Amino acid sequence: MVNRLSLYLRELQQLTRDGTETTSSTRLGELLGLTGAQIRKDLAYFGQFGYPGIGYRCHELSEQIRNILGTSHTWPVALVGVGNLGRALLRYKGFSLRGFEVVALFDVSPTVVDTDVEGLPVFHLDDLADTMRVRQIRLAVLSVPAAAAQQVANRLVVAGVEGILNFAPVTLSLPENVSTVGVDLAIELEQLSFAVVNRTENA
Amino acid sequence: MVNRLSLYLRELQQLTRDGTETTSSTRLGELLGLTGAQIRKDLAYFGQFGYPGIGYRCHELSEQIRNILGTSHTWPVALVGVGNLGRALLRYKGFSLRGFEVVALFDVSPTVVDTDVEGLPVFHLDDLADTMRVRQIRLAVLSVPAAAAQQVANRLVVAGVEGILNFAPVTLSLPENVSTVGVDLAIELEQLSFAVVNRTENA
DNA sequence: TAGATTGTTAATCGATTAACAATC
DNA sequence: TAGATTGTTAATCGATTAACAATC
């Protein structure tokens, strides 16, 4: 359900950029392929943000959703694993607009440790705990090979990480006080394959 | 629900690589943080794949799930947008193991069109329809800037695409006979942020 | 006032869990 | 036979939808 909140935020920010002052749950639903009732219900869970007869003020609701998601202030993020995917994520500047900034890079390969990538120094994984403390980092992006993911995750946990965005195609085993979100690109393609193969039955 | 099928497949393939012949719904549930009942129910929707008293044969069930997902045969995939993210996706060789192979690249920038990237030629977007027909491409990965995503998606639709894996942070408006799966990295981080901020309430 | 739209309640729908007979 | 585990049914739980009084 919270993932829909992110969709609302994305759309509301787009509307704000387009100069739209207010919108309604029905209109937002059309843009996202959802019913207005569902959007109102989702928002109602967290409070009252709309104006009967008017709708929602786009910018105002954006700010409210950012409060709910915890992205009102920018999170400093560590990126662990400066390979191809790591570098691509780093170059992707869309994060900063949404409240996240990669501030430290980590790897173990001697070919990248102590070099600069995209203007940021690459530290050895051994410096994890120190750097995370100094830079007040609580979230990490994990873009290391699948075989190393669990081990590196363990080190992140020891260093005090609170959330891991995991790009390795493995299920991480973590203490319950550490949150994790996994992104597996092959899985997304599989979902697409299923949808295409079973399309006739849906439509 | 189908996304769990992908998780089962990933875990079963891992078990097979580790030399495990059979497993049970309970064991699989432990590995994935789910109940055995749920796994049995999910699978039961598609058929009977287990052996009472024994459990499931890992390799056999993998094949069955691949049948369900439609990945028994490798899908040729087009990758549109050969920027940083596109190149990273291309270098990520995990797709082929799971039934997908990028066979054609497309872009509009004169600096990349007609060059080779990772051993594949980059075609101009104008060649989309022809190439898709010749190479029998039905799925596309869309890794173009947000501002161009809808337009390029429209061209993919005209060229006959049946499914789009969209990495641009926008909701695509597509005909209902075209499937789409969206991956927005900022949204994933927002989910992580929410989980971390609301952690105490969960635990 | 008339029209639009919210927040909320009640009704519906679907998904998850628990339990167990059937099977190996 | 005793132990393990499936597939399935019934019970529980949660999420979505529809409807509408309250509000601007």
Share of chain A above pLDDT 70, in %: 98
CA–CA distance, A157 with A196 (Å, rounded to integer): 39
For residues A50 and A56, the answer to whether their CB atoms sit within 8 Å is yes
pLDDT in tens, B156-201: 999 999 999 999 999 999 999 999 999 999 999 999 999 999 986 5
User: Is the separation of the CB atoms in B107 and B113 below 8 Å?
Assistant: yes
Across the interface, whether the CB atoms of B187 and A92 are under 8 A apart is answered no
Closest C-alpha to B89, from B170, B159, B185, B13: B185
Q: Could you tell me if A20 and A107 lie in one domain?
A: no
Q: In the listed set B67, B102, B119, which residue is the last one of a domain according to the structure? A: B67
**Terminal CA-CA length for chain A:** 25
Please report the number of interchain residue pairs, chain A to chain B, with beta-carbon separation below 8 angstroms: 200
One domain, residues B60 and B79: no
Examine the domain organization and report whether A93 and A114 are in the same domain: yes
Asked whether residue B193 is domain-assigned, the answer is no
Largest CA distance in chain B: 62
Q: Do A62 and A118 belong to one domain?
A: no
Is there a single domain that holds both residue B61 and residue B153? no
Count of domains for chain A? 2
Question: Tell me, in Å, how far CA of B45 is from C1' of D12?
Answer: 20
Q: Which domain holds residue A170?
A: 75-186
Do B90 and B169 belong to one domain? yes
Residues B153 and B89 occupy one common structural domain:
yes
Q: Are residues A19 and A36 in the same domain?
A: yes
- Checking if the pLDDT of A9 tops 60, the result is yes
pLDDT at residue A177, rounded to an integer = 93
Specify whether A142 is located in the same domain as A110: yes
What CATH number corresponds to the domain at position A56? 1.10.10.10
Co-location of A56 and A80 in the same domain:
no
Whether residue B203 lies inside any domain: the answer is: no
* pLDDT, position A200: 65
Rounded-to-integer distance, Cα A146 and Cα A169, Å:
6
Task: Give the residue with greater pLDDT, A93 vs B148.
Answer: B148
d(CA A113, CA A167) in angstroms, rounded, equals 21
Mean pLDDT on A13-39: 97
Whether A96 is in a domain gets the answer yes
Same domain (yes/no): A126, A179: yes
Nearest nucleic acid nucleotide to A48, CA to C1' distance: C7
In a domain, A55, yes or no: yes
| Residues A194, B97: C-beta atoms closer than 8 Å | no
Chain C positions within 7 A of any protein Cβ atom are 3-9, 15-19, 21-24
For residue A65, what are the CA distances in angstroms to A9, A21, A180? 7, 16, 21
User: Which pLDDT belongs to residue A201?
Assistant: 58
Looking at residue B39, its pLDDT comes to 98
Q: State the residue for tokens 């695509």.
A: B172
Chain segment A31-78, per-residue pLDDT in tens: 999 999 999 999 999 999 999 999 999 999 999 999 999 999 999 999
